[in-house]
Amino acid sequence: MTLTELRYVVTLAQLQHFGKAAERCNVNQSTLSIAVKKLEGELGVELFERSKSSVHSTPVGERVIAQSQRVLEEAAAIKDIAISGRDQLNSPLNVGAIFTIGPYLFPHFIPPLQKSAPQMPLVIEESFTSTLRKQLRNGEVDVIIVALPFSEPDVVVQPLYEEPFIVLLPKDHPLCKKSSIERTDLDNENVLMMGEGHCFRDQVIEALPNINCAKPQPASVHTMTEGSSLETLCYMVASGLGITILPKTAAIGAEDLRNGLETRPFSGTSPTRTAALAWRASFPRHKAIDALRQSIYDSNLPGITRR
């Protein structure tokens, strides 16, 4: 058996679909299928139950996959140990971030990071928290930027900064007459939300449990539209479909980039979220983590509070 075969079965168990697993592993479906079948033949057991529509782990397969996961983690640790013997700022750093942080943070911290660590190539990607968690465990990324709460065994989590939520409105909306928004002001509003799977959606609902709970006013149009990104939500607001809640970093420049939009802060204590760095406890390139953290602070993003 090989580490590649173990990675294939772990990915297949996670996605439960040969095509999606092959795409994640950057191989064609037949290559992955043959490798999984070869490993099953070598072990003498069926690791998966296959049907036309899905694939599921067998009981013994679950145990083999769990052990495979541990082997991959240890293999990643070996690579980390080897890298630690080199210049810690002279090897690629793979950074992942959730969708509601990456697009707004990456452009700001990359220039100061390139200045402080010019010999350290940066590989970046965006995804859901659940996907980044698995990629971190598998050694596919070195460090991730997520929103708290976040915990994972053998993973160091360090708060980075706290940022408030703001309200994005069409400029002709009645709430634009106010300098700040009370939470109760949103009780009868059509608040556009991120789709299921985005942690920011859960954070907004937790902070503002009454939004979208009231019945729409007579003769009003109340949409159930959800966005795949904060950018999409901004365009929905510009189209008059409703209003939305954004983290402060995502709101920077929203009024300038899209005519007819305005932002308002919350009155009193604003709902907030905390962004954090997370990396494997075994990851030995502490100087690379320090350089990344400092470059984020050096980016001087307005509206955030350093933690």
pLDDT tens for 32-56 read: 999 999 999 999 999 999 887 789 9
Greatest C-alpha distance within the chain: 71
Question: By the 8 A CB rule, do 146 and 275 touch?
Answer: yes
Beta pairing class for 155-170 and 243-247: antiparallel
Question: Among 228, 250, 254, which Cα is nearest to 303's?
Answer: 250
Q: What is the mean pLDDT of residues 111-134?
A: 93
Total domains in the chain come to 3
Residue 273 lies in a domain: no
Q: What is the CATH number of the domain that holds 47?
A: 1.10.10.10
Q: Is pLDDT of 1 > 80?
A: yes
Token output for 131 = 């996907």
User: Cα 178 to the chain's mean position, in Å?
Assistant: 33
Same domain? For 195 and 150 the reply is no
Q: What is the mean pLDDT of residues 179-196?
A: 88
Q: What is the CATH number of the domain that holds 195?
A: 3.40.190.10
Same domain? For 188 and 257 the reply is yes
Same domain? For 238 and 202 the reply is yes
Predicted confidence (pLDDT) per residue in 80-103, tens digit: 777 666 678 888 999 999 999 998
**Domain region containing 183:** 162-265
Same domain? For 250 and 173 the reply is yes
Residue 271 lies in a domain: no
Same domain? For 291 and 258 the reply is no
Close Cβ partners of 193 (under 8 Å, ≥ 6 residues apart) = 201, 204, 205, 212, 226, 227, 233, 244
Same domain? For 124 and 106 the reply is yes
Q: Compute the chain's Rg from CA coordinates.
A: 23
User: Cα 175 to the chain's mean position, in Å?
Assistant: 31
Residue 99, SS3?
coil
Residue 190 lies in a domain: yes
Q: What one-letter code names the amino acid at 268?
A: G
Q: What pLDDT, on the 0 to 100 scale, is given for residue 54? A: 81
Question: By the 8 A CB rule, do 245 and 191 touch?
Answer: yes
Q: Is the peptide bond before 149 cis (omega within 30 degrees of 0)?
A: yes
Same domain? For 110 and 150 the reply is yes
Same domain? For 109 and 191 the reply is no
More confident site: 192 or 303: 192
Q: How confident is the model at residue 254 (pLDDT cuts 50, 70, 90)?
A: low
Residue 286 lies in a domain: yes
Other beta carbons within 10 angstroms of residue 71's beta carbon come to: 14
Residue 270 lies in a domain: no
Same domain? For 133 and 191 the reply is no
Q: Is pLDDT of 253 > 70?
A: no
pTM higher than the cut 0.85: no
